[in-house]
Structures are given as C-alpha cells and as structure tokens.
Structure 1
C-alpha cells in the first residue's frame, strides 16, 4: 500500500448521532491532496456536521477519520493540523489586521517578530500587503474574508476548512471573493474542504462536489457531471432547478435513447437506461419556445415535432425572460435569453429541447 499523501482526507464508516437522531449515516469519503472539495446540500443535510468532525469540533459516534494517513478520530482540534475559516470570520475587532493574522502563530510558539514577519507574508499572499496596520472594521467584507483566509494559511495546515465563507457578502462581492479563493487554492495547491448551500458557488470553486441529503452522500463528482448527469430527482432539482418530466423510452440504440412525451420525441444519451417509463431532467435554459400564432392546443406534437404548451406567466429580468409554461401533464419553468419581448400569459407556444442540459434520471 502506498503512503497516503499529506493533506489527504479519509472518512471510513463515520456515523454521528445526537441522542436518538442520526445526523450522519456511515459516511465513506476520500479527498485527494491538493483538491478543493465542496460539501453541498440543503439545511440539515449533514454537511456542517461532517466539517465539524473533520475539524475536531465534534466526535464521531463510530468510524474513523484520517488526515494525511494519520488517524485523528479522537484527537482534539489543536492537534489535527487543520485550520478553519468561519462564516463570521471571527476576527478580533480591537486588534490590527497584522496582529489578527499573527495571533495563531504566536499562540503556537513563534516569537512576536517571527510571527509578524510570517503574518505580513500571509497578507501579501492574499493581496493585502500594506493593510496590516488597519483594524478589521476599516476593511470591506471581502477584505475581512481574505484576512481570515490569511490567518488560516499562515499556520500551514494540511487541510483548510471553509464553513459558508461567503454567506455574509453581497452577491457581487461573493462572485469576486469566490474567484479569489479558487485562484489562491490552485496557485498554492493546498487541500480545502468547503461547505456551502449555494449551488452556483459550489459549481464555481470545486474540483469535486459532494451533495449530501439526510446525512448521506446523494451523489459526488466533478461539477459538470453533477449538473449534466444527475442520478436522482433530488440532484436534478437541487443542482440548478431542473424540470423533471415523466417520459417513455421507446428505443435504445448505440448509446442513444429515444424518449417520448405526449407524442413529442427526442434523442439523447441513454446513460444505461432501458425501454420503458422514465424521468427526464430538463434545465430551464435547455428549453426553446416558439410562438404558435392562432394554433389551438390539441395535445399533439407541435410543428417540427415540438411539444404544445401555453404561457401561464412571464417575467422580464433584463438579460432573460422567465416563463412558467403549462404542458398537457405538467408545468415547466423556462429561461429564454433570445427575446426582448416577453410572450404574454395565455400565448400558445411550441416547446423544443436543446442538445445540452437534458438527461435521463437513471437512479
């Protein structure tokens, strides 16, 4: 057996119970060194509990946790060689930025001069050279977040843990800071475990996403795989709000499946599906709308083998229009970026699918 790489993480059959409630069910998870893995899921799914067990802030009821091949299951937080960036940043308001970053180094035994020198290098690393003399209150939210990251990185941990690190920032600042965190992680090559409930954030920063549901891993893989090839209705809906439509697989040949919905047919990757009833995940931006001027809804395929529908509501949002469209058996959500003039409620339309953004649910 090869020696596990420094910075790797391994959960083996980890269970966490709070009284009679089981928060984590027999978790098996491997995180390779130098990767950024995001634990993603709705509130109560177990992602924060998993992070806290890795940090040493919670103790597993059973199972084991390894960091860099070392069993840390029962070790206290200060002996695990990890550092955590909290949601609230947890900066000392009365201390300068430089002293905030140096605090952990001094507590670890470095002299004040050495700690301040290393802290100054850490601030330079995150693009805050020259900010050491300021108080946290004199910085923007994004700058405070970078101070928290610098304070963690100067400790040279095997694993950096980030717990909802952008939740206190506005939307525009979140986009910028998440890009900065990702660039820093890739440039320095450290291992990071990132917790968020924001799907877009997870897609933007991750090498791999682990989606959790009710204390279990629902699916894990690269961002594109989870978005384009969900294994369940839960994943399809959670990773980008997909429409889930019942369909019939009428033929499978050479890796392609032909599906049928109310007479409308479409071909797509089979994903090991077999003929019979199935479910189709369709992203809102993978649907095309064509006005059917004066064409009654007959329940039969529209022109050019398209599905008939009727607009229930429309909302103009600048660079796109959002629609709810009633089909024969369901209502779908559509994002249309190709028109500046929204179709009014009551308009008859024909529905088509693009090549990407559609997948059979095979789980």
Structure 2
C-alpha cells in the first residue's frame, strides 16, 4: 500500500544570491505535515527559486532547509526524499503509462514484481486503472498530469513538489484537474508545495497561500484570509483583483471602524486603523449598480455582457473602477450616469 508523504518543511533564514543580485533576502517559512501550501506571485518574485532550493536543484547562499526534522541543506536532490511534478510532466513518450510510473521505482532498486504491484496501486490511486498499457500520447492532458502525480507518489517521498503543474492545460481542463489534485491531496493527506502564478488556481487548491514579492513573503494565510483581509494594496490587487479607493475613518471602537465613502457609511474590521484618511480594497462584485439613489457617482466607460454578469469600467469620483454586476441583466450603455452602492462584503481596510 502506498503511504502518503507527510513530512514538515522549514526554511530557516534562507538567502539566495546570484552574484551581486539577491533573489531571496531572508526566508523563514514553516509548512506543517499534510498541508498543501502554494507559493504565489508574479514573475521574478522568488517562488520558483524557493522551490528549486527545496528540491536541491539550487544551493542557498546561507540559512538552512529542514525536511521531516532533518537538515538537508547540503544533501543532493536524490537524497532529500522529495519528488517533483514538472510543468512539462516529463513522461517518456515511448513507454507505457505503467512503465512511466514504474521507472522511478526501478531506479531505486525495487524488484520487478514489487515495482509492478506498486505501479498498479499508483494508477488506481489517481483513477486511471485499466489505462496502464496506453502510451502517454493516447491520454488527455489531464490524464497525463495524473500519471505524473502517480509517478511521484509511488516513491513515497516526505514532500511532493508541484511546479506550475497545470500551465500546459486549457482553461476548462485546468479547472477540472486542479479539483482532482485537491481532492487527491485531501484524501491522502500528503504534504505538498505548489508553485503557480495563477491566483484562481491558488485559491482553489491551497490550505495556505504564501504570496511573494521581490523574494520576500508579502502575506501568508488561508485563501479566505488573503481574499477577505489583504494586508496591502499589492495583495488586494494580486489576489482576486480589487479597486483601491480613498475613504475616511470616522471612529474606531472595539475593533470596528466606522468608514465614510462619499455619502455612504460602513462598519468594517478596523485592522489597526486610526481615525483619519485611509484606503479601502473593494472587490468588483461589492458594488450595487443603479441609475439613481445614493452611492459613488460615476459614468460608464465600457460594458461587457458575460452571460451571468455584466462587467463595467466606470469613471467615478473615486477614480476608475472595475465593477461586476450580477443582478441586472441589461447593461447600461456607455456614457450612462450611474450610482455605485457599497455592500458589506468584499470590502477591507488596507495599510
């Protein structure tokens, strides 16, 4: 029986220099056993370098890496007890699915009978029983991805690493396969470190998301924490998109702030805010759209009907805003004067 990898991972004051350039200045991060933690950020933020250091493909300039309580900083990649699922899947095209899964087992000295038995278990694990004799080219992209995951899991590493594992799939297949990966991780409870630049993907699969910027952790938390309580304008805009608008904090009492925006007032978690000027992160679907009443005054610059909602670009007294309207079925024409009412959800005070 295949046992799920469940080792803890810890980065202790890890630094990575490339000549005079510092890619990662000082990384401290603990990943608990059985968690799926996603490293998320724009290109050049340090997430791939962090994963490669963990895999043993890069050596840190200083600091240490610990897997399952063992210091592995100076161990080569093949002695770290981790396996990686690559962006390209790296399946052997001339070998059957079963032989692809068995390849790693054979390389570590398992005998033929044992290798075949474990490889069959790996196929069953990812829902591909009966497809072992096919070539990778005879499978869909999603099935190939599952073969790559099975090949990694049968080695029973302490940690499974996934490097942009869905980037080669189309949008619809990406949604399905990310659900399959999450369901498999939750069922088996394995420890995984997942790298992506796709915010929706990170929100869908993660126990925790570590957002990186310039090699530094910008925020670390659950998907809900990052979406509903972004720590900065960068996080608010990077996780799920947000409009950042000026407001005034009128009063703070017992952790709640009374906030004024134009002719509206809201009560929000204070998040260390003090009375005076402040800023809000407002999700696009946190606006109600009407052509009269209270709210931010604005004019429609563009509109797009997308079936179950309408997207607007609005020139308002608070600046240019992106608005998603799921209530009205007919788009207001370009040039229409509208009012935007702020709802209670999808709004947060930010630093």
TM-score (norm 1): 0.94
Q: Which residue of 1 aligns with 2:190?
A: 190
Q: Deviations over 1:27-56 (max 9, x none)?
A: 000000001000000111000100000000
- Given the alignment of the two structures, is residue 339 of structure 1 paired with residue 319 of structure 2, yes or no? no
2:155 is aligned to: 155
Counterpart check, 1:309 vs 2:326: no
Which piece of structure 1 moves more, 215-224 or 109-118? Answer: 109-118
Q: Work out the CA distance in 2 between the residues paired with 1:349 and 1:259.
A: 22
1:223-260, Cα deviation, whole Å (9 max, x unpaired): 00000000100000000110000111111123221222
Aligned to 2:249: 249
| 2:270 matched residue in structure 1 | 270
What's the C-alpha RMSD, in Å, of the aligned pairs? 1.2
Matches within 5 A, 1:47-58: 47-58=47-58
Q: Residues 1-363 of structure 1: matches in 2 within 5 Å?
A: 7-292=7-292, 303=293, 305-362=294-351
Mapped contact 1:6–1:67 kept (Cα < 8 A): no
Shift of 1:262: 3.3
- Residue 6 of structure 1 deviates from its aligned partner by 5.5
Q: Indicate the SS of the match to 1:194.
A: strand
In the TM superposition, what is the alpha-carbon distance from 1:361 to its structure 2 partner?
0.1
User: Separation in 2 of the partners of 1:257 and 1:351?
Assistant: 21
Structure 1, unaligned runs of 5 or more: 293-302
Equivalent pairs, count: 347
- Deviation, 1:327, is 1.1
What displacement does 1:263 show?
Answer: 4.0
Structure 2 gap ranges (5+): none
Give the whole-Å Cα distance in 1 for the aligned partners of 2:329 and 2:280: 29
Quick check: 2:6–2:190 contact (8 Å CA) kept in 1? no
- 3-state SS of paired residue (1:48): helix
- Secondary structure of the residue aligned to 2:330 is coil
Q: In the TM superposition, what whole-angstrom CA distance separates every residue of 1:45-103 from its partner, at most 9, and x where no partner exists? A: 00010000000000001000000000000100000000100000000001110000000
Q: Distance in 1 between matches of 2:169 and 2:285?
A: 27
2:308 touches 2:326 (CA, 8 Å); kept in 1?
A: yes
- Whole-angstrom CA distance in 2 between matches of 1:153 and 1:223: 25
Whole-angstrom distance in 2 between the partners of 1:329 and 1:168: 39
Does the Cα contact within 8 Å between 1:40 and 1:212 map onto a contact in 2? yes
User: Hey, what's the Cα distance between the residues in 1 that align with 2:207 and 2:232?
Assistant: 21
